[in-house]
Structure 1
Amino acid sequence: MNSAATTPFATGPARAPRLMLSRLLKTAAIDARGQRLGHLVDVIVRLPADGGYPPVTGLVAELGRRQVFIPAEVVRAWQPDRVELASARVDLRAFQRREGEVLLRADVLGHRLLDTANARLVHAHDVELTAGPAGGWVLSGVDVHRLRWLHRPGHHPHHPFRDWLAFEPLIGHQPSLRVRHPLARLRRLKPAELADLLEDASAPEQREILTQVHADPELEADVFEELDDDQQSHLLADRSDAEVADVIAHMRADEAADAIAGLPHERRLPVLGLLPDQHRVKVTTLLGYHNATAGGLMGVDALALPGHTTVHEALQAVHQATTTQPEALATVYTLTPDGRLAGAIGLVALLQADPDATLHTTADPDPVHVPAHADQIEIATLMADYNLPTLPVVDNDHHLLGVITIDDVLDETIPANWRRREPAPHHHGAGAAA
């Protein structure tokens, strides 16, 4: 593991003091007179809104049979075997958790974290506290390596703790979740990675991940598009019609149609009725096709222009098509005045063509196409034989109905069990895999 994977404040001769939670738990709480008051049962931190290192705000100590709160500012010294207080007086009122507080033993130790550096869920087997440069202590590191039976608790001879900022905690405490920074470090992950995590997560973990993802409607829709049909239906089932419509309204029309089709029959029309008019028309059109045909696979958004359009004008149209699926823009199509498919030109060929030439003279006048009833085998064979990133779908009169993109075909043709193979290593964040 390289140095980027270790916790902060770890360089130079003046290495900041640090403590491991596993050693702190059950240690004695000593008052200013040296008397043992009780023992430590948990450490409290607050997750900052800026996503930085959580500061320690207090302790939970057990005095007799009562658990009480000890503010961090009254702790005079932190030692591996005891915590020394600056006062002999302790508020004996029973500890009550406040909004935004995270208990390291109850919420983190032994629970799963989202490893954003490697896009997977891991268990926290220990956590590390580091003395901050401005005073106080912060939660700085986490150990996701399971200890072998011959290792003593708190003893980590072969690996360092990893930086806390490489993880997103799934603490399962809704009041604390509400005050956290929206999305936090989840933006490091791609929608497909978040979908894989959701499929591996428990129900409470799913709820927490989705609560954060919900802060970005576009990301939420992208994640739902990447879920398999059963998981998508399961996660939408607990939402109201309005909430389901809100997600589907941000999805591509073809993906939205699949999501609608996965709902119980009695919910389809109410959800459709809540969609924006233009989106509802597209989705309703696609629902008229069997999902295993070209009509069921296609998207209705495509860039189709008159044949007299110049190459320069076509590129301007690509530039302005910000709401069209990017994969569909790999090919520009030309139409006759009555809307029939007349030609196709790839984006690279368009970039290399004379800007003043017209599409009529540069586009392929006989593009490969399929009818709406074509099956998946025919579609995949044509796209493979002709190296097509997109495939137009036409009706009986050759009018352009929509476009199938290569990602739609891959989703349908890759065997389901391939999706469950061991994922490849990820390299888009700091921290080596455990």
Structure 2
Amino acid sequence: MSQPTSRPTTATRVYLARLKGTAVFDPLGDQVGRVHDVVVVMRLKGAPRAVGLVVEVTGKRRVFVPLTRVTSIDAGAVITTGRLNIRRFEQRPTETLVVGELLDRQVTFRDDSGTATVKDVAMEQQRNRDWHVTKLFVRRAARGGLMGRRGEGLVVDIEDVTGLAVNPAHQGATALLATLEDLKPADLADVLHDLPDTRRLEVAAGLPDDRLADVLEELGEDDRVSIVSGLDVERAADVLEAMEPDDAADLVSELPDAKAAELLERMEPEDAKDVRRLLAYEHLTAGGLMTTEPVILPPEATIATALAHARRQDVTPALAAMLFIVRPPLETPTGRLLGVIHLQRALREPPHELIGAILDKDVEHLLPDDDIGKVTRLLATYNLTALPVVDEDRRLLGAVSVDDVLDNLLPDDWRGADEEITDQAMTRTAHG
């Protein structure tokens, strides 16, 4: 086969050696840096998983951008959600750099037809929006026969060769992590809960930041405090930044004061600001339950733009069902809340239609001090999955979703219980 072209061969396949040097832009079109490398995680079974980009920004600083914050990849441009963690990238033991470590690596064909040198690596986006390394462009080494002439280039499936992954020094943790790779965060949380303390921390330390953040959001208080307290401060701060702000605030509130203060100081200022703002509210109030990062758009955006934001991997299904339309600024606290767009309604409209034309201006809203009882009643009465939280000037502060409410209504030990939900949840609702 011929060498891959400089553009992806499909809309979801990207050759990574060609990606190096590509400009990285924020949603407004401003360049924030250039791609330096791509980070992948090797697995004992299944294709390696690409988890993020190493981006070189101003001052030659290299930072990590998770692929969950990348909305578009092409040979000419990488578009991000606009939020970059400017902390310097530090490679972890479970991570491999494609350009720095995989290119020019020698691999062996499983059919015993010889060896080859890796010249490029391709990743493809899966149905669940994860990126997996699926193809290699290699040059075959010299061997006898016409079919084995020196320099022959071909594209092969990742399963057709061995030797891409170096034998890991931390094989114990790597082996266990490989068996847990496909578990949903809630199921992985159950597994971690049952592990001995030392093993739990070892496995948690080997998870990518986004993955560990998702798992911590599902764990009970004791387990997640133990894990965060066992991580080094820089890593713990990175994981808190990857969590939903309301979950991060809950976790920080459970830590000793000195530890909480240290982590907030190490977090990116904008992320820490969101967490501090949420910590100011009582736990079982709309302010304490809300996330500060719902989907927020201006009224002049199109239906197509709204649907693209709803499809973002970092948006939960409950929050994706309702999009919040506001006057600038678009970061919470925003300008005045104009109304909401229901996802189901947006799906029935032409993509070019402006969202301002289909606003629901009568949606119920919450004030930050409203208690969980009122939140629950409004969600149930109007069959909603989320509600806006506004201040006295109707500026959007955040949104409370039904999953946040359920987490606080269920019994503390609900994960380990086989029986149906008891009266504890109902009692909390009645007295909320």
Bucket of the pairwise TM-score, normalised by the shorter protein: 0.5 to 0.7
Q: 1:294 aligns with which of 276, 280, 286?
A: 286
Q: Return the offset for 1:355.
A: 3.4
Q: Give the TM-score normalised by the residue count of structure 2.
A: 0.53
Letter in 2 for 1:192: A
Q: 1:231 aligns with which of 211, 215, 223?
A: 223
Displacement over 6 Å in runs of 4+? none
Letter in 2 for 1:373: D
SS of 1:292 mapped into structure 2: coil
1:374 aligned partner = 370
Q: Give the TM-score normalised by the residue count of structure 1.
A: 0.53
Distance 1:418 1:340, change over 3 A: same
1:243 aligned partner = 235
Q: Return the offset for 1:178.
A: 5.2
SS of 1:391 mapped into structure 2: strand
Q: Return the offset for 1:182.
A: 7.4
Q: Return the offset for 1:209.
A: 3.3
| Partner Cα separation in structure 2 for residue 176 and residue 362 of structure 1 | 55
Structure with bigger gyration radius: 1
CA contact (8 A) 2:389 2:399 kept: yes
| Partner Cα separation in structure 2 for residue 317 and residue 418 of structure 1 | 33
Q: Return the offset for 1:280.
A: 1.5
Q: Return the offset for 1:343.
A: 1.2
Letter in 2 for 1:365: K
Deviations 1:362-384 (A, max 9, x none): 12111111000011111011101
Deviations 1:252-272 (A, max 9, x none): 111111111111011122111
1:194 aligned partner = 188
Cα RMSD for the two superposed structures: 2.9
Task: Show the 5 A alignment for 1:18-417.
Answer: 50-51=44-45, 177=171, 180-181=174-175, 183-211=177-205, 214-319=206-311, 321=312, 323-336=314-327, 339-417=335-413
| Partner Cα separation in structure 2 for residue 243 and residue 232 of structure 1 | 14
Q: Return the offset for 1:192.
A: 0.8
CA contact (8 A) 1:391 1:403 kept: yes
Q: Return the offset for 1:393.
A: 0.3
Q: Return the offset for 1:400.
A: 0.5
SS of 2:393 mapped into structure 1: coil
SS of 1:374 mapped into structure 2: coil
Q: Return the offset for 1:290.
A: 1.5
Q: Return the offset for 1:423.
A: 8.8
Structure 1 runs not aligned, ≥5 long: 1-47, 53-173, 425-434
CA contact (8 A) 1:301 1:328 kept: no
| Partner Cα separation in structure 2 for residue 192 and residue 337 of structure 1 | 36
Q: Return the offset for 1:356.
A: 4.2
Deviations 1:44-96 (A, max 9, x none): xxxx97359xxxxxxxxxxxxxxxxxxxxxxxxxxxxxxxxxxxxxxxxxxxx
Q: Return the offset for 1:419.
A: 2.7
SS of 2:234 mapped into structure 1: helix
Q: Return the offset for 1:210.
A: 2.5
Deviations 1:208-264 (A, max 9, x none): 4324xx242211111111111222112323333223213212211111111111110
| Partner Cα separation in structure 2 for residue 268 and residue 303 of structure 1 | 28
SS of 1:285 mapped into structure 2: helix
CA contact (8 A) 2:216 2:224 kept: yes
SS of 2:181 mapped into structure 1: helix
Distance 1:406 1:351, change over 3 A: same
Distance 1:316 1:220, change over 3 A: closer
CA contact (8 A) 1:195 1:223 kept: yes
| Partner Cα separation in structure 2 for residue 412 and residue 335 of structure 1 | 29
| Partner Cα separation in structure 2 for residue 180 and residue 416 of structure 1 | 32
Deviations 1:84-142 (A, max 9, x none): xxxxxxxxxxxxxxxxxxxxxxxxxxxxxxxxxxxxxxxxxxxxxxxxxxxxxxxxxxx
**How many percent of aligned residue pairs carry the same amino acid?**
33
Letter in 1 for 2:326: L
CA contact (8 A) 1:229 1:262 kept: yes
Q: How many residues align?
A: 254
